[in-house]
Amino acid sequence: MAALHEEPAEVAAVQPDPEAGTPPPPPAVPPAAAPAAAPATVVEGEATGAGGDAAPLKPAAPGPAASPAALDRQTLVAVLQFLRRSNLRESEEILRREARLLGDDLGATALSPTSAGLLGGSGSEADSGEALLGRGSGAAAVAIGGSVAAVATSSPGVAAVAAVPPGKVGGVVVVEDQPDVSAVLSAYNQQGDPTLYEEYYSGLKHFIECSLDCHRAELSQLFYPLFVHMYLELVYNQHESEAKSFFERFHGDQECYYQDDLRVLSSLTKKEHMKGNETMLDFRTSKFVLRISRDSYQLLKRHLQEKQNNQIWNIVQEHLYIDIFDGMPRSKQQIDAMVGSLAGEAKREANKAKVFFGLLKEPEFDVPLDDEDEEGENEEGKPKKKKPKKDNVGSKSKKQDPNAPPQNRIPLPELKDSDKLDKVMNMKEAARRVRLGPECLPSICFYTFLNAYQGLTAVDITDDSSMIVGGFADSTVRVWSVTPKKLRSVKTAADLSLIDKESDDVLERIMDEKTASELKILYGHSGPVYGTSFSPDRNYLLSCSEDGTVRLWSLQTFTCLVGYKGHNYPVWDTQFSPYGYYFVSGGHDRVARLWATDHYQPLRIFAGHLADVTCTRFHPNSNYIATGSADRTIRLWDVLNGNCVRIFTGHKGPIHSLAFSPNGRFLATGATDGRVLLWDIGHGLMVGELKGHTDTIYALRFSRDGEILASGSMDNTVRLWDAVKAFEDLETDDFTTATGHINLPENSQDLLLGTYMTKSTPVVHLHFTRRNLLLAAGAYSSQ
């Protein structure tokens, strides 16, 4: 059951293309090849800003040298134009001399629709468009670690062209990171009769509506991408009124979950608007992925051939990626569950990579330390606890999870003594943990932020639930101690030198009692703080902000240690690795970055999302990172090599919360559509849908043993779901695994264990204490 990419043979069959035989120009890497090339593109953060100027030149150079074909002339012209606009006169001169291209020739190649046909040199207008598309998509197919083409920028306007953020372009594979916008747009230089577009579309609509039921659902997937691309073509070619009427006539047919995109689209009415419009670039640079059974696809192909409907066929060829599978067509429900993202579904092979989702082996502890504590507990009169716990510890460390990655797959920091102590504490607490289940629901404590004046934007709670941090819209980060123990900073250097370092309580002595307070305010950011994260050892705190930086704070001195610059745009989320040292951040620039606290530049850049990265989470084994995005997809990235190993589609709105199950097998995601989706990481499948919330879900958390999933939302409720039951009888038979066709249970209500109202307080954060008490946090909002 091989996936069919747009094979040249197919293209030739449909449309006698004189250029079909010519080898594709170098930059035009077929999308399928992208993943192969991708691993090399992981950047170890050394790129310089100067790369921005040089980059566009390099990929273009082979163009003229390769062949004098019209296609390459076109490429060259585009590059020359770009150079001229960027005021790189010298480079332009050199290039022109080398290419022996005449100046007046260049002058004629403005962005006018006619010029494309002129340069194309072939009789058919469609052909020239075709050729351009090939080039355009090649330029755009910069998959840095991704299998879908990505443009790793988001800066609107002209900035998108010139400003290549440093650290984005790898030294290994030199690709044209920033496709010249005009070149991309010129892909729409079609010369089809604008008045016929409506006819084409309604013809296809009629055909699909009259097809057999089993095919209709599948073929209906075509409506949306076709609609978008036809509309954009009309707009690009300045048929404003036709575009308007086209939109008016057919936008009602589209699925409701595309409303947001349609709204953006409807505001695009002029060619000028298309430049710098991110959504437009997304449609253009990424192929919309559809999964269609072979039968349905044949039906469609036959129809289009009969009708000689080249316009539509071109779009299908150039802008859509049709993932063909053998077997029964999918039902409407099956399709609806999976679609909704900005670029259609994930290709099946995108989720085929092996993922080591098992947990790492827990390190052995110093037995005496453990024992001493145990005995202390024994004296308190709980001798029985000892045995089962010991067994627990033993079994955990002995058993090697078959799905776990090698222990040293990625280097992890050594455990310090204090870490070990904490682990022991953790285990002791775990022994007293409440066993949750449908019969035994957790108690919920609510941390209400008072007088936050609508400014609370992020919350985190330490693993041992001793501190809570709030990020605020007024750029402050505030740390509270929620235990009677107050927050103290270390003494000044001068005072420290006076301390007797040999004394037993030196750790006590270094603290400055005068600074003890319940609350510490950290100043440093210059914009709303959108994400905060405590380090596992509670010595550090991360915060990310609209100002484009991630800051590392010391919780010993309550000062800022490092400001990590790299995202030049708002950073939406950041999180420490469960083992510390590493952390991840994601932002408006559409990439997620992996950092280590002692490197001021990122170790990995995960690019591939088509819109903002809104939330980031580490896998419990620290080998993977999940990112949720405004493009309505979730991606799982391999920390080791930067590859994207999973793409999950199905949400109908931007994703705002992620949670891995404690055993690492499952992922829960929440979005603005008010639904929680559950994913099996190993198989790369959606395994559940939890409906109930009426607003964006901002917080998701599994209980410590994974029995309960808690979700918190803007709708002022916390809901508890039966996670055991949700994952219980998964039909992971070979067929489902192979095809990705899932059948979700109709009703998720039997999984809902409870709905808990807050007092008009949106739930921003959820946390299970080590004993499985559920902590929720949010700011009281009077409205």
Partner 1 sequence: GHKSSGVGGGREERRFVELPRDSVRLMAESAGLELSDEVAALLAEDVCYRLREATQNSSQFLKHTRRRRLTVEDFNRALRWSNVEAVCGCGSQDSLPFRPLREGDLFFPEDREVNLLELALATNIPKGCAETAVRVHVSYLDGKGNLEPQGAVPSAVSSLSDDLLKYYQHVTRAVLGDDPQLMKVALQDLQSNPKIAALLPYFVYVVSGVKSVSHDLEQLSRLLQLARSLLQNPFLSLGSYVGSLVASVLYCVLEPLAASINPLNDHWTLRDYAAMLLGRIFWSHGELVRGLYQQILLSLQKVLADPVRPLCSHYGAVVGLHALGWKAVERVLYPHLPTYWPNLQAVLDDYSVSNAQVKADGHKVYGAILVAVERLLKAKAQQAPGFGGPEGSPRHSPPGQDPLPELGLGRPLLPGGAAAASSSSSSSSPLSPSLRDMYRELYDFFGDSLAARFGTGAPAEPPSPPGAAEGARKEPPAEGAARKMPQLTNATVSPRDEEPPPPRPERPALHRAPGPPPRPRGTPRAPAGHRPGARDVFQKCRFAPRGPPRFSFVIAGRQTGRRCPGRRFQTNFPQPPAAALGSRYAQRLPMIGRTGRAPRRWPRAEYSLLLLL
Should residue 558 be labelled a site residue for partner 1 when binding is judged by CB under 8 A? no
Of 164-223, binders to partner 1 (CB under 8 A) are none
How many residues in total does the chain contain?
783
28 or 697: whose CB is closer to partner 1?
697
3-state SS assignment for residue 326: coil
Applying CB under 8 A, among 70, 473, 640, 752 the residue interacting with partner 1 is 473
207 or 756: whose CB is closer to partner 1?
756
Applying CB under 8 A, among 30, 62, 570, 662 the residue interacting with partner 1 is 570
Applying CB under 8 A, among 168, 229, 588, 770 the residue interacting with partner 1 is 588
200 or 698: whose CB is closer to partner 1?
698
270 or 382: whose CB is closer to partner 1?
270
* Pair 346, 647: CB distance under 8 Å: yes
Residue 254 neighbours by CB distance under 10 Å = 16
Taking the C-alpha atoms of residue 490 and residue 557, their distance in angstroms, rounded to an integer, is 6
CA angle 742, 747, 748 (to 5 degrees): 90
Among 20, 12, 741, which residue's Cα sits nearest to residue 335? 741
Applying CB under 8 A, among 308, 408, 747, 783 the residue interacting with partner 1 is 783
* Pair 342, 611: CB distance under 8 Å: yes
- Only one of the segments 199-207, 284-292, 349-357, 566-574 lies at the binding site for partner 1 (rule: CB under 8 A); that segment is 566-574
Shortest separation between residue 317's beta carbon and partner 1, angstroms: 31
Should residue 49 be labelled a site residue for partner 1 when binding is judged by CB under 8 A? no
Applying CB under 8 A, among 152, 452, 562, 626 the residue interacting with partner 1 is 452
Contacts 24+ apart (CB under 8 A), 558-565: 558/479, 558/487, 558/489, 558/520, 558/522, 559/522, 560/522, 560/524, 562/597, 562/600, 563/524, 564/595, 564/600, 564/602, 565/600
Applying CB under 8 A, among 654, 692, 706, 740 the residue interacting with partner 1 is 654
Shortest separation between residue 621's beta carbon and partner 1, angstroms: 28
Q: DSSP readout, 199-211? A: HHHHHHHHHHHHS
Should residue 525 be labelled a site residue for partner 1 when binding is judged by CB under 8 A? no
597 or 761: whose CB is closer to partner 1?
761
Taking the C-alpha atoms of residue 538 and residue 559, their distance in angstroms, rounded to an integer, is 14
- Only one of the segments 128-136, 151-159, 317-325, 500-508 lies at the binding site for partner 1 (rule: CB under 8 A); that segment is 151-159
- 498 Cβ contact partners less than 8 Å away, ≥ 6 residues apart: none
Applying CB under 8 A, among 400, 407, 454, 526 the residue interacting with partner 1 is 454
Applying CB under 8 A, among 288, 357, 530, 768 the residue interacting with partner 1 is 530
Among 182, 149, 212, 166, which residue's Cα sits nearest to residue 79? 182
Should residue 453 be labelled a site residue for partner 1 when binding is judged by CB under 8 A? yes
Shortest separation between residue 248's beta carbon and partner 1, angstroms: 8
* Pair 620, 608: CB distance under 8 Å: no
455 or 662: whose CB is closer to partner 1?
455
Q: DSSP readout, 395-434? A: HHHHPPPTTSPPTTSS--PPPPHHHHHHHHHHHHHHHT--
70 or 441: whose CB is closer to partner 1?
441
Q: Exposed, middle or buried, 50 (CB in 10 Å: 0-12/13-18/19+)?
A: exposed
Applying CB under 8 A, among 605, 607, 613, 764 the residue interacting with partner 1 is 764
Applying CB under 8 A, among 630, 676, 687, 751 the residue interacting with partner 1 is 630
Shortest separation between residue 486's beta carbon and partner 1, angstroms: 14
Should residue 372 be labelled a site residue for partner 1 when binding is judged by CB under 8 A? no
Shortest separation between residue 167's beta carbon and partner 1, angstroms: 20
- Number of chain positions touching partner 1 (CB under 8 A): 71
CA angle 414, 417, 423 (to 5 degrees): 85
Of 298-357, binders to partner 1 (CB under 8 A) are none
CA angle 198, 201, 203 (to 5 degrees): 105
Shortest separation between residue 635's beta carbon and partner 1, angstroms: 19
Of 19-48, binders to partner 1 (CB under 8 A) are none
Measured in degrees and rounded to the nearest 5, phi and psi for residue 119 equal -75, -30
Of 271-300, binders to partner 1 (CB under 8 A) are 272-273, 277
Beta partners for residue 490, in sequence order: 511
Of 665-684, binders to partner 1 (CB under 8 A) are 672
Applying CB under 8 A, among 753, 768, 769, 770 the residue interacting with partner 1 is 753
- Only one of the segments 308-316, 392-400, 617-625, 755-763 lies at the binding site for partner 1 (rule: CB under 8 A); that segment is 755-763
Of 212-271, binders to partner 1 (CB under 8 A) are 263-264, 266-270
* Pair 149, 287: CB distance under 8 Å: yes
Shortest separation between residue 767's beta carbon and partner 1, angstroms: 12
Applying CB under 8 A, among 242, 612, 631, 673 the residue interacting with partner 1 is 612
Beta partners for residue 517, in sequence order: 487
Shortest separation between residue 454's beta carbon and partner 1, angstroms: 6
260 or 512: whose CB is closer to partner 1?
260
Q: Exposed, middle or buried, 402 (CB in 10 Å: 0-12/13-18/19+)?
A: exposed
Should residue 776 be labelled a site residue for partner 1 when binding is judged by CB under 8 A? yes
Residue 139 neighbours by CB distance under 10 Å = 29
Cα dist. 191→115, 125, 229, 627 in Å? 11, 6, 14, 40
- Only one of the segments 118-126, 227-235, 473-481, 601-609 lies at the binding site for partner 1 (rule: CB under 8 A); that segment is 473-481
Q: What is the CA radius of gyration of the chain?
A: 28
Of 691-730, binders to partner 1 (CB under 8 A) are 696, 698, 714, 720
Should residue 762 be labelled a site residue for partner 1 when binding is judged by CB under 8 A? yes
Applying CB under 8 A, among 146, 167, 225, 528 the residue interacting with partner 1 is 528
365 or 480: whose CB is closer to partner 1?
480
Contacts 24+ apart (CB under 8 A), 52-58: 52/162, 52/163, 52/164, 52/166, 53/86, 53/88, 55/164, 55/169, 55/174, 55/176, 55/177, 55/178, 56/82, 56/83, 56/176, 56/178, 56/180, 57/83, 57/91, 57/95, 58/174, 58/176
Residue with token string 């501190």: 467
384 or 759: whose CB is closer to partner 1?
759
Applying CB under 8 A, among 156, 327, 376, 383 the residue interacting with partner 1 is 156
Shortest separation between residue 590's beta carbon and partner 1, angstroms: 12
Applying CB under 8 A, among 287, 478, 632, 704 the residue interacting with partner 1 is 478
Beta partners for residue 99, in sequence order: none
Should residue 418 be labelled a site residue for partner 1 when binding is judged by CB under 8 A? no
